[in-house]
């Protein structure tokens, strides 16, 4: 399967060529008007069930959805670079998030305000944070609620989503890039499924970077714990003191923890020893 690194090293003409194909247009054209209903079916399939059943269903769905497509978590700097690299000929469509259509009312607030120091889920993410481009942009752009926007407007949206503490991830579908999702573990169906399978997902790929912590500088504020959507961090009490525990295997590389650490004890470093299921953007 083609990687984001491969895509970004292609010329504009090569990237446009990867968008072509009757099968791709047929699949995406069929998926676009049904995406919200599909997400509702997926959410219903593993919510409010016994743990074992939820895990089994989530594992099956994860495998099925990883056939022919994947989505990779990226840092803010990476997604900005990716957006700037998009061919100018791509149409960019912005519309309603298929997950939040189904989960927002039931599950409540799912966003933060990092700039003001509000790290709890206290507000709703705007519905229109789903981004589609290329052939996906053309097909989704035909759907009710979608509008075409510029790269500049998309970059402004990225900054807004970052401040809300959302995870940016880039979809590659049928050999070419297709969309950017802005996800919260509170309301995102794929992230929920990923947590059910303990982070061992094939559909959601870990990013090229991971968070490294200088424990000598860490003073256990817990900011990083609050913003982590992947349960990679927790505070535990040992000998009467709070101690930061970090599970490197659970880190997907979004970089939110780095952005809220007051001691600058966290830095994003290149991931080493990537396994066969992981891909990279840089």
- What is the reported pLDDT for 5? 86
Task: Give the C-alpha separation, 197 to 208, whole Å.
Answer: 21
In which residue are the tokens 């659970």 written?
250
Residue 3 pLDDT > 90, yes or no? no
Mean pLDDT over 168-181 rounds to 94
pLDDT computed for residue 72 by the predictor: 97
Q: In which band, very low, low, confident or very high, does the pLDDT at 141 lie, cut at 50, 70 and 90?
A: very high
Do β-strands 204-205 and 69-73 pair in parallel, antiparallel, or remain unpaired? Answer: parallel
- Kindly indicate the confidence band of residue 232, based on its pLDDT and cuts at 50, 70 and 90: very high
> Rounded to an integer, what distance in angstroms lies between the CA atom of residue 204 and that of residue 136?
19
Mean pLDDT over 161-176 rounds to: 95
Do 35 and 43 form a contact (C-beta atoms < 8 A)? no
Give the pLDDT confidence score for residue 54 in this predicted structure: 87
Q: Do the beta carbons of residue 133 and residue 90 sit within 8 Å?
A: yes
Per the CB < 8 A criterion, the answer to whether 4 and 170 are in contact is yes
**209: pLDDT strictly greater than 80:** yes
What integer pLDDT is reported at residue 273 of this predicted model? 64
Query: How large is the average pLDDT for residues 188-213?
Result: 94
| Other Cβ atoms within 10 Å of 100 Cβ, number | 27
Euclidean distance between CA atoms 102 and 107, whole angstroms: 9
Q: What percent of the chain clears pLDDT 90, i.e. is strictly above it?
A: 79
| Tens digit of each residue's pLDDT (9 = 90 or more) over 88-118 | 999 999 999 999 999 999 999 999 999 999 9
The secondary structure of residue 19, as a DSSP letter, is T
Q: Is the pLDDT of residue 282 over 50?
A: no
Is the model's pLDDT at 279 over the cut of 90?
A: no
Three-state SS at 198: coil
Dihedral, CA atoms, 161, 163, 164, 169, nearest 10 degrees?
Answer: 40
């Amino acid at each position: 399967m083609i990687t984001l690194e491969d895509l970004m090293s292609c010329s504009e003409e090569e990237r446009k060529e990867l968008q072509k194909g009757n099968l791709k247009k047929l699949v995406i054209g069929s998926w676009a008007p049904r995406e919200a209903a599909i997400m509702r079916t997926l959410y219903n399939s593993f919510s409010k069930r016994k743990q074992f059943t939820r895990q089994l269903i989530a594992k099956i769905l994860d495998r099925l959805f990883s056939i022919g497509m994947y989505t990779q978590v990226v840092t803010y700097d990476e997604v900005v670079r990716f957006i700037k690299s998009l061919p100018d000929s791509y149409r960019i469509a912005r519309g309603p998030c298929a997950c939040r259509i189904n989960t927002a009312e039931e599950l409540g607030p799912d966003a933060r305000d990092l700039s003001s120091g509000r790290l709890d889920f206290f507000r709703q993410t705007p519905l229109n944070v789903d981004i589609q481009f290329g052939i996906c942009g053309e097909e989704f752009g035909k759907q009710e609620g979608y509008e075409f926007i510029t790269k500049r407007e998309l970059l402004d949206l990225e900054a807004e989503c970052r401040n809300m503490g959302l995870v940016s991830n880039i979809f590659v579908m049928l050999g070419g890039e297709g969309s950017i999702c802005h996800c919260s573990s509170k309301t995102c169906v794929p992230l929920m499924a990923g947590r059910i399978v303990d982070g061992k997902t094939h559909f959601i790929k870990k990013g090229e970077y991971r968070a490294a912590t200088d424990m000598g500088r860490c003073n256990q504020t817990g900011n990083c714990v609050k913003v982590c959507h992947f349960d990679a961090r927790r505070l535990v009490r040992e000998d009467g003191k709070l101690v930061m525990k970090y599970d490197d295997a659970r880190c997907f590389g979004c970089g939110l923890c780095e952005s809220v650490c007051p001691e600058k004890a966290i830095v994003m470093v290149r991931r080493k020893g990537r396994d066969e299921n992981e891909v990279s953007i840089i």
